[in-house]
Amino acid sequence: MPLAYYDKVIRGTEKEDFHLIVQFLKEMVGETFSFLNYYKEIPVSYDARLLSVEHDMAEFEIHDYQAKVMALEKKVLIHSHPSIPVDEDLVGEVFYVSVARKRAILTRFHYAKIRSELRRFVRVCLEGRHADVDIHLGDGAAVLPASITDISLGGIALLLSDKTGLESGQNVNLILKLESPDTAEISEIGALCTIVRVTGGNPPYTCIAEFHSDRHSQQALAYYINQRQVEIIKELKELAA
């Protein structure tokens, strides 16, 4: 699970925090917690019931969709419980998970602040989709080709082999070339954006940009993102079957 989803919080030492969390969980057997994972940037969040705590490991009854994503991410975010003595979320590492049994055993807990839920827009991963973009720098400068890793109505994450001419704060025009989930046809969407940052010492570089879309572009992006979201949820259901 990427650290971009949460900030790790250490209140004492990691060992002391782990011990306190386990002691808290021992007093909460039978209670319900809210779990959170992400599948291709789509949140997967269901209630989980704490069954037992033994040898610093906690067993939960979980939803089968949650189990599948936990098996992939090897961690789970746990929303702060009203009874927890500190106002922190938790992260637990997966020791064992069974989709068929709807059971998971977690250990190595620590405190956290979940950041991913502060997102203003739904984000979708475009892994496995044809999703390219041309970055037009303007003023006769070269056009930089890139591929899209994820996208929302607010912004986009790109991978590119050449970052020449790209700077934080720069306004550029993008021509997005997106494969329709329905017809597999490639449609082009133009969008003005501001470069937020470009990272990486060697290619491929990562570029994060914020959209300033007009109404037409925003409607086209919204339709595409919604279709991709439906596609990912369908995939998750099939994986969890």
The domain locations on the chain are 3-118, 124-239
Q: What's this model's pTM, rounded to 2 decimal places?
A: 0.88
Contacts of 179 (CB under 8 A, 6+ apart): 129, 130, 131, 185, 186
124-239 topology per CATH: Thrombin, subunit H (2.40.10)
Q: How far apart are CA 153 and CA 172, in angstroms?
A: 17
3-118 topology per CATH: Thrombin, subunit H (2.40.10)
Give yes or no on whether 3-118 and 124-239 have one common fold. yes
Q: Can you state the angle between helices 64-73 and 215-239, rounded to 10 degrees?
A: 100
pLDDT in tens, 18-29: 999 999 999 999
Q: How far apart are CA 138 and CA 134, in angstroms?
A: 12
Nearest Cα neighbor of 122 from 230, 209, 241 is 230
Q: Which two tokens stand for residue 12?
A: 């004492």
pLDDT at 239: 85
pLDDT at 1: 64
173 near 138, Cβ under 8 Å? Answer: yes
Residue with tokens 């133009």: 190
pLDDT in tens, 127-179: 878 899 999 997 777 899 999 999 999 999 999 999 999 999 999 999 999 98
pLDDT at 87: 80
pLDDT at 178: 92
pLDDT at 23: 95
Contacts of 155 (CB under 8 A, 6+ apart): 121, 193, 196, 208, 209, 210, 211
Assign 85 a pLDDT band (cuts: 50, 70, 90). Answer: confident
CA angle, residues 220, 222, 227, in degrees to nearest 5: 100
CB burial of residue 16 (10 Å; 0-12, 13-18, 19+): exposed
Look over the chain and give the mean of its residue pLDDT values, rounded to a whole number. Answer: 92
pLDDT in tens, 198-240: 999 899 999 999 999 888 999 999 999 999 999 999 999 998 5
Q: Which two tokens stand for residue 27?
A: 């007093």
Number of H helices, E strands in the chain: 3, 15
Assign 96 a pLDDT band (cuts: 50, 70, 90). Answer: very high
